[in-house]
Structure 1
Amino acid sequence: MSFLSLEGKSILVTGVANKKSVAYHIGKTLEAEGAQVIYSVRSETRKASVKKLLDPAPMFVCDVEDEAQIDRLRDEVAKTTGTLHGLVHSIAFANFADGLKPFHETSKRDFLQCVDISCYSLIRLSNTFKDLFAKDASVVAVGISTTRMAAENYGYMGPAKAALDSSLAFLAKSFSAFSQVRFNSVNAGLLKTSASAGIPGYLDSYMHAEQLTLRKKALQTQEVANAAVFLLSERSSGINAQGIVLDAGMSINYFDKDIVRRAQRPEPK
């Protein structure tokens, strides 16, 4: 038996898009620990594209904007396992189809869609699966290292992630009335994923963040997955309503002397 005691535990992982996804790394790490992983993806097209990556694990389609599909997902998962020991929420979306705009020009439609998919879906999934959860199940969401850094190119996803962070605390409190289900998040710094590649100007931000880490090496997706798997295990039983920040020390290193020097005395072009 491994230290994490995840053998035979049934865990639903949502949001796999490709091999670079945080959800993919979490799922594969869980499988390596002996867990029974069930996957949920956004569309039939996505299911076809990741099928070879996830086979032979069960995989279902659920677009979380459609509440009927969330209900259907619960029924499908219930047929696969009688008890769900964990849920991974790795779902987020912001519409940048019209290009990057100043935050104050964010449309109501785009903002509400972002909050619906990136935050409310966790609330809806948790409520829908509450009767299937083991009494001490663990729910883990994927957040960001800080929601107080107003990065222009991240736009309204920042407030949506802030809502997600707050929702975890309220879910932990409300579920405590009838269970010991825990709600936590892994709050990652900048990662090299396909989703982040769609953010305008992300590469420059990623390279800057890498220089701000204490080790001068960017955060790895597998490091985030490792923390998530720990939170899904019984070894983290004392952790509830918390966000575990993974940023390789970036948040305490804004005044790194080399970064400050280059900012004040930029290299000649």
Structure 2
Amino acid sequence: MKNIILKFLFFLSSFVSAQTIQSLYFQTNKADLNPISKSKLDSLANLKASLTFRIFGNADFTGSAEANKVLSDRRAKAVQDYLQARIGENLSIGNTIGLGETKQINDNSTEGLKQKNRRVDIFIERKFEPGEKISRKDLPNFLNVKVALMKVKDTFSLPDVNFIGGRHVWLPQSYYQLGELYKKLRDNPSLIVELQGHICCEYDNFDGEDLDLGTFNLSWTRAKAIQDFLLKQGIAENRIQIIGLGHLNPVVYPEVTEMDMTRNRRVEIMLIDK
């Protein structure tokens, strides 16, 4: 557990100035906080910035919709009560609500996937001044950087590969860059990468709804779409890992224009091995 808490503290130290999230997980039909969850909440309660926590409880499909709504309410309330007893004046709790089984991230086909749906999401926000906007420094272009200069765990951009809002379908201008990505992986067979999916504009959930699939894992399905494309071209599956990061690391925030939204609907690449 110590390693998990250390990773969480690192996450807090790198806290972005827009909005981030922490998720806590529960056993089937339970709303009790385990020691790992309590340690994470203790760390949140000790944050020094002026922040607001918004709390959303969730459940898997076990039981009726009514029972799952009640269970998600209990989970959210348990987190609220624990935090409320520990936070200082600089921290506040906004809305606390149980969403029942309505915000499924996964399809519940395995116990591991079910666990991801038995959770409470805590959105951690700071107030933005009127007109204030953040814009992250551009990452190096994966297609332009020489492999010899790449370092393991470095993250790279995949410019001009963006997606239709609410869908895992990329825009037409993305095809050329995806072809170049395939060629780079083909020509450098030792490269192993992780495709990291992102979304825009969804701040009441960790991830967005994939309108084609009806699941709330849009960032993951975007990464999966590119993985599927590369697999069809002949790249080995064990060379392409995928993860969905929701809206947690925007290029620009808040999204004001359509261009802002498009820039955040993206997939980035982390080098796993070369």
TM-score when scaled to structure 2?
0.28
TM-score when scaled to structure 1?
0.29
